[in-house]
A = this chain, B = another copy of it.
Amino acid sequence: MSKVRYGIIGIGNMGSGHARILTDGSIKGAVLTAVCDGFEKQRQWARENLKDVAVFEDSASMIDSGLVDAVIVATPHYDHPVEAIQAFDKGMHVLIEKPAGVYAKQVREMNEAAAASSKKFGIVYNQRMNPLYQKLRDLIVSGELGEIRRTNWIITNWYRSQAYYDSGSWRATWGGEGGGVLINQCPHNLDLWQWTIGMMPKRIRAFCQFGKHRDIEVENDVTAYVEYENGATGVFITATSEAPGTNRFEVSGDRGKIVIEEGRMTFWRLRESETAFNERNKELFGAPECWKIDIPSDGPSPEHAGILQNFTDSVRNNTPLVAPGEEGIKGLTISNAMHLSTWLDGWVDLPFDEALHEAELNKRIAKSAYQRQEASAGSKTV
């Protein structure tokens, strides 16, 4: 394949961003040939701004036109799996926006469709391209940090005012988005939380607060405690109503601790492992020798362009994906489990009961101030 011909489903905030990257020539081996959107206003924007790009009203027509090899799904969250499954059925490569979907059950069906196809499946986890998180993963995978003992991510700098929430009737509703900060703002963090350390929690106890300091239906303040198979524990805290908030990710291991905060990584590295020190130490208040190390920066993150280049390379040359679409279910599973733990006021073991989660979610959708239209092949803006 000389160039991957892309079609974008949904030309809202995210879709138009992808369109700009694809049309500015920065992605080698990629060309934008078509877009589709259910809204005339968005199609009008496409006709005016995207040269030599066909514009369709719905994704089926766009795919059936034969103009595209791969689609980028940038619709509202609920429709990601719907569109992806349809695209796989029609032989497309598929790159979906985050989150993978709203509930694990629908995402599992999407993953099954991807597995049954021979096409590439990616997710726009652009923060996996950030050298800071890649370095953290490297230091953990390579054993520099030793076995993980604790994770702690305070990510409370997702500030959103009431004006933000009031800007769309679907925003922050069970019917429109299927969740709040966990579904809309935190998918990257929830993905990185498990991707960097290479472990999923085995059980979760979460405390979501709904409409905290904001007039909304869904959660915008979350504290979650998790336990991992190896005995490690973790905490994840997020909020949209705090200013300025904090973004501090700490991981402790047998060889010290790593903290990422304010765009910098610091590694407090033990000269020998805590386990080895503890076994040989005889001093009452002895502690292992520790070196504070400023880990050098590997430069800025290529972000969305990095994901698009990686996906394009994978389609053309079968190179490995940084963010395989099948992995979208991991962060979503954590997010779903946090909701379910709060709703049930108890522990949720992983893998959890996806049907129970869906039933509980549907109760809230039924009472939601926002009621979606029937699902259609047409896409909508995010």
Contact = CB atoms under 8 A, between A and B. Distances in A.
B223 A244 contact: no
A250 B250 CA distance: 14
A150 B154 CA distance: 11
A357 to B, nearest CB: 21
B213 A287 contact: no
A253 B282 CA distance: 45
A274 to B, nearest CB: 5
A288 B152 contact: no
A226 to B, nearest CB: 10
Interface in A157-200: 159-164, 167
Contact of A290 (B205, B212, B244, B252): B244
Contact of A250 (B154, B225, B257): B154
Interface string A273-307: 01101110111111110100000000000000000
Contacts of A246: 250, 257, 259
Contact of A150 (B164, B242, B252): B242
Contacts of A278: 161-162, 213-214, 241
Contacts of A283: 161, 163
Nearest to A157: B287
Q: Assign chain A's interface to a size class.
A: 35 or more
A18 interface: no
Given A212-B231, A213-B275, A223-B233, A244 B163 contact: no
Contacts of A328: none
A253 to B, nearest CB: 9
B237 A152 contact: yes
A248 to B, nearest CB: 8
A171 B19 CA distance: 65
A167 B207 contact: no
A341 to B, nearest CB: 11
Q: Tell me if A's interface is mostly helix, strand, loop or mixed.
A: mixed
Interface string A209-237: 10011100000010101010001010101
Contact of A242 (B167, B257, B281): B257
A349 to B, nearest CB: 13
Interface string A122-158: 0000000000000000000000000001101010100
A268 interface: yes
Contacts of A277: 161, 243
Interface centre among A163, A243, A256, A288 (most CB of B within 10 A): A243
Interface of A: 149-150, 152, 154, 156, 159-164, 167, 205, 207, 209, 212-214, 221, 223, 225, 227, 231, 233, 235, 237, 239, 241-246, 250, 252, 256-257, 259, 268, 270, 274-275, 277-279, 281-288, 290
